[in-house]
Structures are given as C-alpha cells and as structure tokens.
C-alpha cells in the first residue's frame, strides 16, 4: 500500500494545471451508452474512478479504447444488462448507467450502491423519477431490476437537488416519449457539461444550470466528441494549498466562474485571488483570518471543498465554523486533523475550529477522497514529518498530487508502506 510522506512546512510557488473534471467525465461515459455510435472523450485523466467506469460499460458490452488521453466508447452491441455488485461496490457513480440503460435497451439489473464513508448515499430520488417515467422497478437480494417498454416524459420534482439523480434522469429523458421536466434540479457545472454532451448527441435540453431542466425525448442519438470542463475541486484544492502555505500559485486551465465560492471565502480569509480568462492566481502574505462556511448545492460552497477549507481554518487567526448540510457524515477528516494538533469540536452538522499557529506532523489516514486532500494540505503546513496512509482514496480524484505539489516546492514523496 502506498503512502505520502511530507517533510516539514513549505511555501508553494509556481503554476499548476488542473485535469478535466472526474465528476463530469463519469456521467459522460455513462451517457455514451445512449447511442450505437462511437463517442470520443478527449483529455481524460488516468484516475481510478474513470478506470472503474470503463470497466462498468465494458461489462455490459461496450467497446472502450484508450490512446494517451483520449477515451473511445462504442456501445453498439450491449450484450448484458447487469452491473455487478463487485463493480458498483467500488464506485457508486456506476449507478449512473441506470438511466441510459433504461432509455436505450429498456432493462437493467444493478447492485444497490452501498453507502460510503461520507454518508448512506441513498438513491430514492433516482428510483422515484424512473418510476414516474414508467419503469417497473423491483428490489431484491441487494439488486435493483428495472424494465421499461418505453420511458414516458414526465414532470419530476426532486426533493433534494441531487447531482446524480439529475444526471440519471436527464439521460433517461433523452430517449423518452414526450417531454420531461426536472424541477428542483441540481445546477452544478457538471450538469451543464453533461447537457452540452447530450445536446451534441442530438438531444433537446433546455435549462441545464438552473433549477428547472426541460428535455424533449428524441428517437435516437448519435456519437460525438467531447472535452469535459476543468475539475473545479482539484483547482480549489490547490488554491487553498497556496493560500495556507503563504504562497503564490497560478492554477491554470480553470473556469474562474466555477470557483466563485472558494475564491470568495479565500478573499474573506485575507488571501489575494486574481482571476484571468482560464486561470486564477492565489497569493497570501501572512496568516489567514478565520471564516465561516456552510456547504450547499451549487452555486453554494461545495461540499467537496469542505475538508480542504477546514484545514485552512485550523491555521487561521480566531474561531471558524464549518457547517456540512449536504452529507450526514462528512467530518471523518476531523479526527485525523486533531492528530496533527488541530483544535476542532463537532456540534451536530457544524464543526467549531479554533485556529492555531501551526500543526505538527503525524501519521494520519485518508478516510475518503477529499479528506485525503485536506490531510495532504495540512502536511504542507506541519512541523516535522507527516505520513498519509490509505492514499488510494486520493488517487480516485487527483492525478499525481505529489508530483504537482513537489513542482510547487513541497517536500513530498509517494512511497510504499
Ligand atoms: C455527486 O455525488 C459527486 N459525485 C460528489 O462528489 C459530490 O459530493 C455530490 O455530487 C454533491 O455535490 C459525482 O459526481 C460522481 P447527490 P452524488 O446525489 O450525485 C442525498 C467527490 O468527492 N440523496 O447530489 O452521489 C444524498 O444522500 C464526490 O468527488 C438522496 O437523499 O450526490 C446526499 O445527502 C463525493 N437521495 C445529497 O442528496 C438520492 O436519491 C447529495 O447527494 C440521491 C441523493
């Protein structure tokens, strides 16, 4: 098992380029099942979660090819309708094939995606939407079986603006009979990116990026090419790292608009953030001030940046409060940060963080993807040696994080346990 070892504090300086968004590529791979034609995705990062999604679509018969950074998918011959427990267990986003499969072949058998470290992660909103559209759904032995002669367009209200449910239902609606309206839809940039991919395939979608999305069902969709949007969470992670090390970093290949909540909060903490067309520059001259954050669906502060921002709060002047409203158990990083000397108290969905002058290096464990990122950032500001174990979590969403940080001046290596 690999681990990251970070020696002492550093000041990050230089520039770093982000890869395209994991949370955009995963639904786009699923959407490629909607057509018998070939789809080509460019600039696809080699991430564990992308590898799993490739395995999932291959397991139902799609042909997948990788040449350097492009990924080719052809789902002309779907020869299985089952996504196995082994695959879905590895990554809950496998569940995103349910909408495309119901739309394209009218049936799917998929293992219930288990919960994970950050919460139970139910799928009730997905299933409610599919049922409304006419799918016949049965649950048993840990599997969902769903059939639909032909999905019907419907008006679906989401009790919560779920990203995955919005994506799954958008994809299902593309080949349904009639019009589907998704109300209280998620507004994340990844939703807009999926809509742009589906539109290039020939679907008729209006309102992506707002809380109401209207999809006119069409008879068939064709193949297309696509380059996903930049990964706003990878970008935000490096922005926070630059700010709390008192550094000066240009994060390249970003859409500044997608980073607004993180930019606003870093400015509130006293960092300088300059926005360029496809880059942001983050500078911090001294210790940051305390700040409060409350995670919300986009365009609110992203839950995927909560752990990283909490590391910044641990070193800020004064008391900060972080409130997590999206997931019920996304404070797993707190115990690990406390091993490094952080002063954090949890009160329900809020954490109260008393900022301290410095953290001390320790042996810590990544409990989930973003918690791992938060610990890597903490190690950059800690006296002495920090060892981060279970970094396979990090590899799900960050390419070569140690190489990118080393290039910015960190004393960090990846080594085997
Ligand atoms: C997506 O997960 C992202 N993953 C997550 O990123 C991200 O944290 C999350 O959206 C919120 O922004 C991908 O895009 C692959 P949700 P998803 O459905 O779709 C509840 C990362 O670190 N809910 O918006 O699973 C759910 O329990 C990952 O990159 C229901 O109650 O998130 C949660 O509390 C982590 N019923 C809330 O909604 C449902 O049917 C948000 O979940 C569906 C969701």
Position 121 scores a pLDDT of 75
**φ, ψ at 258 (rounded to 5°):** -75, -15
- Residue 29 in this model has a pLDDT that exceeds 80: yes
| Atom 4, ligand 1: residue with shortest CA distance | 23
| Atom 38, ligand 1: residue with shortest CA distance | 162
Position 142 scores a pLDDT of 87
Position 390 scores a pLDDT of 95
Q: How far is the CA of 89 from the centre of ligand 1 (A)?
A: 16
How many other CB atoms sit within 10 Å of the CB of residue 78?
Answer: 17
Q: How far is the CA of 67 from the centre of ligand 1 (A)?
A: 30
Tell me what the pLDDT averaged over the chain comes to.
Answer: 96
Whether the upstream peptide bond of residue 194 has omega within 30° of 0, thus cis, is no
Ligand 1 atom showing the smallest separation from residue 327 Cα: 34
- Residue 116 in this model has a pLDDT that exceeds 90: no
| Atom 7, ligand 1: residue with shortest CA distance | 304
For the stretch 149-192, pLDDT in tens is: 999 999 999 999 999 999 999 999 999 999 999 999 999 999 99
Q: How far is the CA of 105 from the centre of ligand 1 (A)?
A: 26
Q: How far is the CA of 17 from the centre of ligand 1 (A)?
A: 26
- Residue 120 in this model has a pLDDT that exceeds 90: no
- Region 286-305: mean pLDDT is 97
Q: How far is the CA of 320 from the centre of ligand 1 (A)?
A: 25
Rounded CA gap, 140 and 136, in Å?
13
Identify which of 19, 23, 229 to mutate to test ligand 1's pocket (most ligand atoms within 8 A of the CB).
Answer: 23
**Pocket residues for ligand 1 (CB within 6 Å)?**
23, 26, 93, 119, 121-126, 160, 162-165, 303-304, 326-327, 369-370, 397
Q: How far is the CA of 121 from the centre of ligand 1 (A)?
A: 7
Position 86 scores a pLDDT of 86
First to last CA, the chain: 5
- pLDDT-derived band at 401 (thresholds 50, 70, 90) equals very high
| CB of 106 closer than 8 Å to CB of 149 | yes
Rounded CA gap, 357 and 29, in Å?
45
| CB of 16 closer than 8 Å to CB of 404 | yes
Identify which of 325, 326, 331 to mutate to test ligand 1's pocket (most ligand atoms within 8 A of the CB).
Answer: 326
| Atom 33, ligand 1: residue with shortest CA distance | 327
Position 115 scores a pLDDT of 65
How many other CB atoms sit within 10 Å of the CB of residue 141?
Answer: 8
Identify which of 164, 236, 367 to mutate to test ligand 1's pocket (most ligand atoms within 8 A of the CB).
Answer: 164
| Atom 27, ligand 1: residue with shortest CA distance | 121
- Residue 404 in this model has a pLDDT that exceeds 90: yes
Task: Give the residue, 53 or 83, on which the prediction is more confident.
Answer: 53
- Residue 26 in this model has a pLDDT that exceeds 70: yes
Report DSSP letters for 192-250, one per residue. HHHHHHHHHTT-EEE-BTBSEEEEE--S-----EEEPPB-HHHHHHHHHHHHHTT-EEE
| Atom 39, ligand 1: residue with shortest CA distance | 123
Q: How far is the CA of 162 from the centre of ligand 1 (A)?
A: 6
- Residue 114 in this model has a pLDDT that exceeds 70: no
- Region 128-138: mean pLDDT is 97
| Atom 14, ligand 1: residue with shortest CA distance | 23
Rounded CA gap, 264 and 206, in Å?
29
Which domains, from first to last, does the chain contain? 2-18+230-416 (3.65.10.10), 22-227 (3.65.10.10)
Active site residues: 116
- pLDDT-derived band at 383 (thresholds 50, 70, 90) equals very high
Position 285 scores a pLDDT of 85
Identify which of 19, 132, 160 to mutate to test ligand 1's pocket (most ligand atoms within 8 A of the CB).
Answer: 160
Q: How far is the CA of 164 from the centre of ligand 1 (A)?
A: 6
For the record, the structure tokens of 324 come out as: 């997590």
| Atom 6, ligand 1: residue with shortest CA distance | 304
For the record, the structure tokens of 92 come out as: 């809950």
| Atom 21, ligand 1: residue with shortest CA distance | 304
Q: How far is the CA of 300 from the centre of ligand 1 (A)?
A: 14
Out of 84-93, 142-151, 248-257, 305-314, least confident range: 84-93
Rounded CA gap, 219 and 408, in Å?
50
- Region 237-265: mean pLDDT is 98
């Amino acid at each position: 098992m690999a681990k990251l070892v970070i020696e002492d504090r550093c000041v990050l300086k230089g520039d770093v380029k982000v890869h395209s968004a994991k949370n955009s590529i995963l639904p786009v791979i699923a959407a490629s099942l909607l057509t018998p034609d070939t789809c080509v995705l460019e600039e696809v990062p080699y991430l564990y979660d992308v590898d799993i999604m490739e395995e999932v679509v291959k397991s139902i018969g799609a042909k997948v090819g990788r040449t350097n950074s492009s990924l080719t998918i052809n789902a002309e011959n779907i020869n299985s309708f089952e996504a196995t427990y082994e695959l879905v267990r590895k990554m809950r986003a496998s569940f995103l094939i349910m909408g495309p499969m119901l739309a394209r072949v009218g049936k799917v058998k998929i293992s219930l995606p288990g919960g994970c470290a950050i919460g139970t992660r139910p799928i009730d909103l997905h299933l409610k939407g599919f049922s409304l559209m006419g799918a016949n759904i049965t649950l048993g032995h840990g599997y969902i079986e769903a059939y639909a002669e032909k999905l019907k367009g419907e008006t679906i209200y989401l009790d919560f603006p779920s990203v995955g449910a919005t994506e799954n239902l958008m994809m299902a609606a593309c080949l349904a009979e009639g019009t589907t309206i998704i109300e209280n839809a998620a507004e994340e940039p990844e939703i807009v990116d999926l809509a742009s991919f589906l539109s290039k395939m020939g679907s008729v979608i209006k309102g992506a990026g707002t809380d109401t999305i209207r999809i006119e069902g069409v008879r068939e969709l064709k193949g297309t090419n696509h380059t996903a949007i930049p990964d706003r969470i990878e970008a935000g992670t490096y922005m926070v790292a630059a700010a709390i090390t008192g550094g000066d970093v240009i994060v390249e290949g970003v859409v500044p608009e997608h980073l607004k909540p993180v930019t606003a909060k870093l400015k509130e903490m006293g960092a300088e953030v300059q926005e360029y067309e496809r880059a942001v520059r983050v500078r911090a001259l001294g210790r940051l001030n305390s700040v409060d954050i409350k995670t919300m669906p986009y365009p609110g502060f992203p839950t995927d940046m909560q752990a990283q921002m909490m590391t910044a709060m641990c070193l800020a002047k004064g008391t900060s409060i972080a409130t997590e409203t999206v997931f019920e158990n996304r404070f797993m990083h707190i115990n690990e940060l406390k091993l490094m000397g952080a002063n954090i108290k949890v009160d329900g969905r809020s954490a109260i963080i008393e900022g301290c002058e410095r953290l001390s290096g320790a042996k810590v464990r990544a409990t989930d993807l973003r918690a791992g990122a938060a610990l890597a950032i903490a190690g950059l500001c800690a006296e002495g040696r920090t060892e981060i174990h279970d970094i396979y979590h990090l590899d799900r969403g960050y390419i070569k994080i140690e190489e990118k940080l080393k290039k910015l001046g960190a004393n960090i290596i990846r080594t085997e346990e």
